Amino acid sequence: MKIVYSDPKTGRTAQAEISSEISVALNNKKIGDTVDGTIIGLSGYTLKITGGSDTSGFPMQANIEGAAKKSVLKKISNSGSMKGMHRRRTLVGNSVNPNTAQLNLVIVEYGDKGIDEIMPKKEKEKKPDEKKE
């Protein structure tokens, strides 16, 4: 399972891959629940589940109970030419299960390590200038 966690103060994100043995501890957790950060190597941190997606790529929805896929009507737009239109979308429930491929988390409480140690800034690669002929 892939874990994507973010820091709301700086806006930076990082990813971690966890094994299936560790992901069993996250099963039956719901969107909005808090998780101890030691699962992904962040001792002292507390993380909140904000969403995710399953192995097919369907996103999790907070107001759908359980872990099953459901086809629901979602509003497209509040204004413009599509105002008032609805489309049918397939979504997954709010519970983490073995079919969950990605889990999105946000840091709620900070621990001992600084954010710069956990999420180091990456230098953007500069593209070499193309030769003009």
In this structure, is residue 29 part of a structural domain?
Answer: yes
Residue 121 C-beta-side C-alpha neighbours within 13 Å: 5
d(CA 18, CA 6): 16
- The pLDDT tens digits for 15-63 are 889 988 888 889 999 999 999 988 888 888 999 999 999 999 999 999 9
In this structure, is residue 14 part of a structural domain?
Answer: yes
Residue % of the chain over a pLDDT of 90: 53
- The pLDDT tens digits for 91-110 are 999 999 999 999 999 999 98
In this structure, is residue 74 part of a structural domain?
Answer: no
Token pair listed for 108: 């709620």
133 pLDDT above the threshold of 60 = no
Confidence of residue 6 (pLDDT cuts 50, 70, 90): very high
d(CA 118, CA 36): 16
20: domain range? 2-61+96-118
Classify the phi-psi angles of 41: left when phi > 0, otherwise alpha if psi is within -120 to 50, otherwise beta: left
